[in-house]
Structure 1
Amino acid sequence: MTKFTLTLIAAFGMYCALQAQSLRGTISDAQGNPLPGASVVADGTNGQFADADGAYVISLSPGTHTVQFSYIGYISQTKEVTMGTEDQTLNVSLADDAVLIEDVVVVGYGVQRKKEVTGSIVKVDSKQITGVQTPSFEAALQGQAAGVQVSQSSGVAGAPSLIRVRGVASVSAAGDPLYVVDGIPITQEYFLRGNSGALNNNPLAAINPNDIESVEILKDAAATGIYGSRGANGVILITTKRGKKGTSFEFSTRAGIGTAATRPNMMDTETYLALRQEAWENDGGTGYVWLPNMSSAADDPATRRE
């Protein structure tokens, strides 16, 4: 056998050894049902999806690879696979993620498991609400739910937050969502006590954030099927905490100090009276100007002087 033939055989052997081999198999659940669309990722970059029967095929070069199998609602698995010069078969069974699938959410007319919910619902638990110091609980929803815009309505102390679910739905009508506390709709009317200028209070500020168990936001149009036109701008369901077995005590307190950034430059008594007298004369008045809460313009100049 010539050197050329030996070299050709060696080169062909190396070529076959370096060729990518196939890793194939099926992905199923604990009951053996296939999981179509399951994800298969090798070394964090090379990825494929399972077909309708849960079968997958992925090409891997010879050597050791880390392959991750994952599916929504199931616990991911990571396998170490050593590929040689032949194809390999690896069947994987994924276990249910009970914490994710069996989570209970409020849907307006009761409770459902999260895997059975078909509407667009966002759940915010009490830890996310109490973790942010805000004047009212609805301000703590900012950044906690996709599609929910929370902004400050004005700079007045105690002013409520402006909440819009799925954007602005009307140009002239109000866009506030409907608030339901333990199944009872509440009125978010800022002028419920009458128009008191800047002293209008936020009705939602009366709800203690520490008493809230969870907040569910119904964002889709299905909310109108439950609450009618009042739920056209979305519905915010507030579930408060219930009594539990056992006795526990919780105490929390907060204190703060506020200082004025700038103070007005006030006039002394002599300068104020001089400016008031000058304004009185410029306005056509004669004699001494009357002093507020002490005399009136009807008094004679002598009385006003005193």
Structure 2
Amino acid sequence: MNTLLREKCINLKAPLLITGETGTGKSRLAHDIYRQSSIHQEKFLTVHLATLKEDLLESELFGHKKGSFTGALENKSGYFQDVGTGTLFLDEIGELSLEAQKKLLYVMEEKKFTPVGGSASLDFRGRIIMATNRNLKQMVESGLFREDLYYRIKIFHLELSPLREDKKQLREIIQTLFNELKERHSSPYARLSNEAMELLMGRNWKGNIREIKNALEFALVMSPKNVIESADFPYDQNEVILPEEINALAGFPEDFHQSQELFEKVFLEAMLAKNGGKVNETARRLGISKTTLIQKARKYGINTLKMRAEAFDFAA
């Protein structure tokens, strides 16, 4: 990443595009730029474009007027209005349809937008930061991304390299994530041994920041000591050491995202067991909502009631 350009982009009013592999920290960079900007006291709104349904996309972004479509029971403001003079982060810009791209280009060019069913245009007063892990140039060549929008947003472009290609950044990311996790899990005295850091620095992190965070959290939670050793990580010279119940599964997936689900199951099961099946306590320690934890426990078939009963029997 061009460090000079990054500094110039902090107070940039023109649209900023951030690209890079999944997990390289595009969202994190967008937040960092916002926090260092002169408008850091204004709103920062994130829109995950891939999760918005196409038929509701325009309404979510630009708002709508009462009665403009079935279900529009009242006037509704959209992200472009709600952000005010703040920063609007459009994540996964490559997932937008061609029609939505056209409307986005209009906002960027004219600084105006019109709510669905409305007749009067509203001014857009904020700044836009976009991110994607897709190759927009190839999408243009394939007819999946508008050429005029591409050339409009590629002017100010920050490309994040995979962490495996930037060892200095990798070390900084590892330490930053570890410090954040120490605070989340109330482990202020935890630290990484030299051997543990060497192990982490030597890995080929295909999942980038997300994979690193998972590994650090696993070691921090499972280690009985304040000093985290290399043996506390689920790795050994770039090979994954899997719990017995996962080793027993035939055809363990090599794909990171599929493997991540198995890790999540084992990790949540271990945390719930550690807290005697107490959902509220576990959710608080993990920094997630109770609803999210319950949903994941059901998804993975984790029996919290049995854990609570076992914990009670043990205490008795």
Indicate the TM-score class for this superposition, using the shorter chain for normalisation. under 0.3
More strand by share: 1
Higher relative contact order (CA 8 A, sep 6+): 2
More helix by share: 2
Q: Which of the two has higher C-alpha Rg? A: 1
- TM-score when scaled to structure 2? 0.22
- TM-score when scaled to structure 1? 0.23
